[in-house]
Chain A
Amino acid sequence: MSTDKKVQELKKRREEVQQGGGEKAIQKQVAMGKLTARERIIKLLDEGSFNEYDMFVEHEARDFGMDRKKLHGDGVITGTGAIGGRPVCIYAQDFTVAGGSLGFMHARKITKIMDHSLKMRMPLIGINDSGGARIQEGVNSLAGYGEIFFRNTLASGVIPQISVILGPCAGGAVYSPALTDFVFVVDNISKMFITGPEVIKTVLGEDISMEELGGARVHSEITGNAHFFAESEDECFDQIKSLLSYLPWSNTDVPAMKEVLEPLEDYNISEIVPTDKRQPYDVRNVIRAVTDGSDFFEIQESWAANMVIGFGTMNGRTVGFVANQPLVLAGVLDVDSSCKAGRFIRYCDAFNIPIITLVDLPGYLPGVDQEHAGVIRHGAKVLYAYSEATVPKITVIIRKAYGGGYIAMNSRHLRADFVLAWPDAEVAVMGPEGAANIIFRKEIATAEDPDKMRAQKVQEYKEKFANPYVAAAKGYIDSVIEPWETRKSLLHALDVSGGKSVGMPLKKHGIPPF
């Protein structure tokens, strides 16, 4: 039996560790507008569910006076808890303890909880707030990073991995988030970069602030490294909880069922899309017009906005949506939107989430910058991801599906299970204007009134090809439906795909164009 004295000692030791880096360091953390690591964990997890591991771990470094330094928890808090009543693994780097620097034992605490999450098949949430490698520990701290990256890769596609950037995350440290599924950032708090402003200034003479180089907005709008942007840590935690509500806990689990609701009446699907194919609309409203309760949880809202991706529910079950967005850049495919869609399709496929694709695109974005940025290589990601995906794949062609864009957007030829089209849909090698210019070049050039002739030929082409029936006649489109029938048809398609089973050739892995 424990004596009172020993219990007192345990209490004292716990209290000590829970102080993190001490009052002064905590005040500094607060002054930076940040919560402490422990507060973050408590706020994110279900009340009272946190169970801390490895509280009494100590570093073993001896050089540079480290032998006299005691670092509580070695600068990271790890453990298990629950979100929405389901178990999760979590770690949070503690910036108040030696700047959250990553030493060998710090890393070992992280890899231990990672191993646990993989073994027990539950999501892993990593809260990053660290100055980087603990230089006093030399190559041992680099070894720590490597061990983390290896486990991120091992767990990829098995359990959901979430990275939350709530402070600096610089140098090699950025690669753990980059290897995980979803990255959350908060305005003015998150900073991610490989080389910081100081180095860039001395070496290259470029003068840039941390925020401009790798702040939350930069990664949400320009680089695409972040998936969710929040104004505050509290908003960020709500986003994480929402995201998890759509996800299965592993690749052999199914997402929790949600309440089945009809779409809201605010979204009248017959009135969202203009008939003129050159006029924009917000494709997210079409998604909201078909999902349960008009629910749509968008991912990477501000990056490559010409492609919309996210989760919704249909009959209580999670579905992934991939949609061209005519409101932005006319909904073209380009380098960024291809990367965005390709990765999301693979995510859905890895976690058995059916994919619904909404098509309305004029083709690929023309331009030297696109060609030289490798739009061929990046564009191929969409083809690869759709072709490889074995989850139920349903396509709705809303208006335009031209050329390579038609093939790429989950066409029958990439093994879509169901291809539906609205009566206004145009499936053709190119739009009527471009096609008429090529097919009737001579007639237009030699006509007395070339503009009139061009208009006439465009009309001729439109009548002949600009409809869904040419493709439907060949069985490339399964049904032509009225817009209001969309939800009903999608629910039916999902219903009859529950037992989908397709084989792929035996291989170690493919060579996707990444």
Chain B
Amino acid sequence: MSNKEKSSKKSSSSEPRLESLEIGSALYTTRLTTKFKNRQIWKKPDEKRIVAVIPGNIQKIMAKEGDEVSAGTPLLILEAMKMRNEILSPVNGVVLKIHVSEGEMVSKSHLIIEMG
């Protein structure tokens, strides 16, 4: 079958190497896929580090470093998908550091503000 020939031709050019994968306390020798290797490793979110949940433009910054704010206080406006999103402080605390300036484009997960 042409299908078979094709697959053998393809695999010879870049034969993926065999690695180990642990399942149920046993180590299996196998190939790991790119998708598996690129998977997001979960980290406990740190609510004091405010990151952009969506890529967009920092339209206005209301907070100043050193401000004492309570949870729910608007800190800045992130414009994304034609929507003005108010970013609120998730905690009662102090604005330690503002990592962006007005007019800046930020990508997803970009660190915007650190709270203390």
Contacts and interface: CB of A to CB of B under 8 A. Distances in A.
Interface of A: 203-206, 221-222, 238-239, 242, 277-280, 288, 295-298, 301, 305-306, 326-332, 336, 362-363, 365-369, 372, 402, 430-434, 437
Given A327-B30, A369-B40, A433-B24, A222 B35 contact: yes
- Give the 10 A-B CB pairs with smallest separation, nearest first: A330-B28, A434-B24, A368-B42, A433-B25, A362-B23, A434-B25, A330-B30, A204-B55, A433-B26, A369-B39
A308 to B, nearest CB: 11
A296 B42 contact: no
Given A238-B2, A297-B3, A329 B24 contact: no
B24 A206 contact: no
B32 interface: yes
Contacts of A326: 28, 30
B31 interface: yes
Contacts, number: 100
Contacts of B80: 203-204
B107 interface: yes
B24, B27, B81 interface centre (most CB from chain A within 10 Å): B24
A278 B1 contact: no
Interface in B7-33: 7, 18, 21, 23-33
Nearest to B36: A329
Given A222-B35, A297-B3, A280 B29 contact: yes
A402 B24 contact: yes
Given A205-B107, A242-B3, A368-B42, A305 B33 contact: yes
Interface string B24-58: 11111111111110011110000000000011100
B94 interface: no
Contacts of A372: 42
A372 B41 CA distance: 12
A367 B4 CA distance: 33
Contact of B18 (A204, A239, A280, A306): A280
Interface of B: 1-4, 7, 18, 21, 23-36, 39-42, 54-56, 80-82, 105-108
Contact of B26 (A297, A362, A365, A369): A362
Contact of A366 (B23, B26, B54): B23
Given A205-B105, A328-B31, 9 more contacts: A205-B106, A205-B107, A277-B26, A278-B26, A280-B30, A305-B31, A331-B30, A363-B24, A402-B24
Taking each of A296, A326, A329, A434, which has the highest tally of chain B beta carbons within 10 Å of its own beta carbon? Answer: A329
B55 A206 contact: yes
A91 to B, nearest CB: 26
A362 B1 contact: no
A365 B23 contact: yes
30 contacts: A204-B54, A205-B106, A206-B107, A221-B34, A280-B30, A295-B1, A296-B3, A297-B1, A298-B3, A298-B7, A326-B30, A327-B31, A329-B36, A332-B21, A332-B23, A336-B35, A362-B24, A362-B26, A362-B28, A363-B24, A367-B39, A368-B42, A369-B40, A372-B42, A402-B24, A430-B24, A431-B26, A432-B26, A433-B24, A433-B25
A406 B7 CA distance: 29
A277 B33 CA distance: 20
Nearest to B110: A205
Contacts of A239: 3
Contacts of B23: 330, 332, 362-363, 365-366, 431
A222 B39 CA distance: 12
Contacts of A433: 24-26
Nearest to A368: B42
Contact of B21 (A206, A297, A301, A330): A330
A83 B32 CA distance: 39
A174 B81 CA distance: 22
Contacts of B33: 305-306, 328-329
A205 B30 contact: no
Contacts of A431: 23-26
A298 B5 CA distance: 12
A332 B25 CA distance: 14
A204 B108 CA distance: 9
A347 B80 CA distance: 41
B26 A205 contact: no
Contact of A242 (B2, B18, B28, B106): B2
B4 to A, nearest CB: 7
Contacts of A434: 24-26
